[in-house]
Amino acid sequence: MISLVVVAIYTGLSQGIQPTISLNHGAGNPSNMRCILKYALITVLLSSDAIYTVLFFGASRLVSDIMQKRYRKMSMTGMPELFTCISSSFLRH
């Protein structure tokens, strides 16, 4: 479940830079393409670091929170909260 959110974030990043990469490629601006790719790579590395840190140190808490929400039959309302929590950690970087 958490992996789907992470994959969605990376897919959104890659599809988000695609129009600007295409525009700069068509205009013949390789330096702009390199700059955009550099920022995208930095974003992916920082977000990967944040995801790994959160999952490494907070795995037991995340699992226990998810299991409690499923136990209380609140998994449908728990997913947006989990997504908001994970995505807000990316906004800080």
Report residue 73: phi and psi, to 5°: 55, 40
Report the domain count for the chain.
Answer: 1
Residue 17 Cα distances to 7, 46, 67, 70, angstroms:
16, 17, 36, 36
Report residue 24: phi and psi, to 5°: -70, -30
Give percent above pLDDT 90 in the chain: 31
State pLDDT tens for residues 11-52.
Answer: 898 899 999 999 999 999 999 999 999 999 999 889 888 888
Residues spanned by the domain of 17: 2-91
User: Of 24, 50, 45, which Cα lies nearest the Cα of 36?
Assistant: 24
